[in-house]
Copies of this chain bind each other. A is one copy, B any other.
Amino acid sequence: MLDERKSRVLQAIVEDYVATAEPVGSRTIARKYSLGVSPATIRNEMADLEEMGYLEQPHTSAGRIPSDLGYRYYVDCLMETPEVDPADAELIRRTFERKIREVDVLIRETARLLSETTHLTAVVVGPQLSKAHFRELRFIPLDDRRAVLIYITDSGFVENHVVELPVEITMLELERVAEILNQQLRGQPVESLSRTALRIVQDELKRYGALLEQTLEFLKENLEPGEKRRLYLGGTTNILNQPEFRNVDKLRSLLSVLENDELVAELLEATEPDSDKPTIQIGEEIKIREMADCSVVSAYYTLGNEVIGRVGIIGPKRMEYGRVVGIMEAVTRQLALATSRYRF
């Protein structure tokens, strides 16, 4: 725990550095932040803070910048989350009051909204199929060899997939397959439609072999933990406005990471499972080497009590944490609300 004055000094340094991207010196603080002491005193405090690991010095004759630890202390103990800017609040309200009926569009719009309000890069991981409850599947025959398999959950996802039919199957038999599957599976949490549960059904339906196998395969593909993710990035180019990424090589390695959906989705998994405050990962706390200069603010949104998706903001460590957290809270609240409209 830092004493009052050290806290104020650290806070001043973080906030000034966030605003200017320049190492901040003792005189600047004495002038801009009225701590009522002289630069020399602040120099001493800064020397202490550096020794304790909260500050770093790019080179001997430069000002100080916060270390990862310094940012960590700042977000944990010093940061305030200001009211969301009225213009942003208005934008958020307006975005969600439009009735968006397609889940994909909703995700995309959310990502755009977050990136526009924070001027950073936003990630949204869409409602996960596996968190929903199975409702019903249907086959729509196309010709004698193929049908569309349609799969609906009670949170309103509709997925479809063309499956090949065993040649001999009749329209009636097809309906029978659907009926049996529906009876066995309706209302089940999709997550627990595990291989074993499905296998029971499979036994019962041995004779529809190939068709069933494809259906199951589709269900598996879409429901396993590694299910296809609905992931959307917004405002990737906002990164380019950050002075820390003027360097093209750094930029390239970061952008390569962002092109990898797997990795990005994992980033957001770090969200603390029970907190309803956004989680913040700072610099080297992120395991990805290329992101050592970045921070990630992430949160989840819920449908009922169920976590069904996540949002994140990726930016330089030097970001306005308070503002970002405020925006994120406002957006996830609205997003949960919007998602609940899909339910039936």
Q: Which A residues are within 8 Å of any B CB, using their own CB?
A: 101-102, 135-136, 138, 140, 142-143, 146, 148, 150, 152, 156, 158, 160-162, 236-237, 240-241, 245-246, 248, 251-252, 255-256, 259, 342, 344
Contacts and interface: CB of A to CB of B under 8 A. Distances in A.
B240 A248 contact: yes
Contact of A150 (B150, B240, B248, B252): B150
12 contacts: A135-B142, A140-B152, A142-B152, A148-B150, A148-B158, A156-B162, A236-B255, A236-B259, A237-B252, A240-B255, A245-B248, A248-B248
A8 B92 CA distance: 61
B150 A160 contact: yes
B256 A342 contact: no
Given A252-B237, A255-B240, A259-B236, A140 B148 contact: no
A314 to B, nearest CB: 15
Given A148-B152, A240-B248, 17 more contacts: A101-B161, A101-B162, A140-B150, A140-B152, A142-B152, A143-B344, A146-B344, A148-B150, A150-B158, A236-B255, A236-B259, A237-B255, A237-B256, A240-B252, A241-B252, A245-B248, A246-B248
Nearest to A140: B138
A253 to B, nearest CB: 9
Nearest to A246: B248
Contacts of A156: 142, 162
Nearest to A252: B240
Contacts of A252: 237, 240-241
A325 to B, nearest CB: 25
Contacts of A256: 237
A72 to B, nearest CB: 29
Contacts of A344: 142-143, 146
Nearest to A101: B162
Nearest to A236: B259
Given A136-B140, A246-B248, A256-B237, A160 B162 contact: no
Contacts of A135: 142
Nearest to A243: B248
Contacts of A246: 248
Contacts of A143: 344
Contacts of A148: 150, 152, 158
Nearest to A258: B237
A241 B248 CA distance: 9
A215 to B, nearest CB: 13
A256 B237 CA distance: 6
A256 B160 CA distance: 33
